[in-house]
Structure 1
């Protein structure tokens, strides 16, 4: 009988400890088991980019690269001064680091204004839910 009481007490203590371990501590935003901070920061740096900003009286090589974005994780951004630079001693080109190379304006997941207008103006009768065949008797 005493053995069952001791085993029951151990089981209760084990359950209490596992429940307390799963609850987040004060100051923690998320409970254990969520995405780690390293995974979040790794996802945020996936689209960081760099571009070359030509300085005053920049060479043609720097002007050709103006507006081009280079992904940070690919490591293909040219070193400054550029290899083709004709003004190495007086080069004033610099890098412009971007957090995310994607812009909100190029989000193709949302409906365009024209498409949403066309969708709203269609009547329910015009929607064709039944597929029609190619033969005359299937139409």
Structure 2
């Protein structure tokens, strides 16, 4: 299990490439899964409110992020790890779907995008049904 601050292992070169991004706004136009994590300010704010609970939750979340990353990698789904505060998804019809991750409800999470339709927020604990619905895998 990974602890807070540890990086999730990157897949070997023969497997699906994992990109990492810490820019403020990330624009995505191709099919992928986005594993987002909070920035340092979010972590500090929540750690200060209840450090015992924060570390317990963060430890569990890091485990699920790692498991989900492995699950996506086995299905050869491009994965982007990011701490961006805003995600912009370019849809096939020319519109843009924006996720503002500065909202306090967002900490760690998973968004699936098939490159055409509105991206779908998925469960980090049980991503299989959403992955199948979005990517057919």
Q: TM-score, normalised by structure 2?
A: 0.21
The structure with the largest helix share of the pair is 1
Larger Rg over CA atoms: 1
Q: TM-score, normalised by structure 1?
A: 0.20
* Higher RCO, Cα 8 Å, sep 6+: 2
The structure with the largest strand share of the pair is 2
